[in-house]
């Protein structure tokens, strides 16, 4: 498994769908996932440290798990089939690991709230966008773009 982090969340400029971009720690591989607007908002709220007056759905899920004595250990993007990603939430409860099937966007939103690690199964990496280490002006420009990417870069201009 490859540990990932959320690089950005926003709107894909071509499809106009919300997208979350996961990156490996060296930012050499990127996994873009199209997600729903509500999940994009749930992820952005955490990334941008927005205070909400009442718990959102993922806050409720985390609070419920904690109240039942479980801890979110990690989330894993487990598979990609017919352009659909699959994920699992791994809870620790009473010394046992409990795995729960989840949409990747929900798993990511929960992991961010719980401070849990996000992983991608190795079989998904061949489908990731990779940035070679070769010296190429276009690649350097792309790397620079990715390094300075922020959620605001995905917002639609009206």
3-state secondary structure of 112: helix
Q: What is the pTM for the complete model shown?
A: 0.81
Q: What is the rounded CA–CA span in Å between residue 63 and residue 60?
A: 5
* pLDDT value of residue 29: 87
The domain spans of the chain are 2-152
Token pair of 19 as six digits: 């997208």
Q: Helices then strands (H, E): number in the chain?
A: 4, 8
pLDDT at site 12: 83
pLDDT (tens digit, 0 to 9) for every residue of the chain, 158 residues total?
Answer: 999 999 999 888 888 899 999 999 888 889 999 999 999 999 999 999 998 899 999 999 999 999 999 999 999 999 999 889 999 999 999 999 999 999 999 999 999 999 999 999 999 988 887 766 656 666 667 667 666 766 666 555 55
* Residues shown for the chain: 158
Q: Which fold has domain 2-152?
A: Bifunctional nuclease domain (3.10.690)
Query: Is residue 47 within 8 Å of 151, Cβ to Cβ?
Result: yes
Backbone angles phi and psi of 51, in degrees to 5: -85, 130
């Amino acid at each position: 498994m490859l540990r990932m982090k959320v690089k950005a969340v926003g709107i894909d400029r071509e499809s106009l769908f919300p997208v979350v971009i996961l990156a490996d720690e060296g930012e050499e591989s990127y996994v873009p996932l199209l997600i729903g607007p509500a999940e994009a908002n749930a992820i952005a709220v955490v990334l941008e440290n927005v205070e909400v007056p009442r718990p959102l759905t993922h806050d409720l899920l985390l609070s419920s798990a904690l109240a039942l004595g479980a801890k979110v250990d990690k989330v894993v993007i487990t598979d990609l089939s017919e352009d659909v990603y699959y994920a699992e939430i791994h809870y620790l409860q009473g010394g046992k690991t409990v795995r729960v099937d989840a949409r990747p966007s929900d798993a990511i939103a929960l992991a961010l709230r719980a401070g849990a690690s996000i992983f991608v199964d190795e079989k998904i990496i061949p489908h990731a966008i990779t940035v070679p280490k070769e010296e190429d002006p276009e690649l350097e420009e792309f790397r620079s773009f990715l390094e300075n990417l922020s959620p605001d870069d995905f917002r639609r201009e009206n």
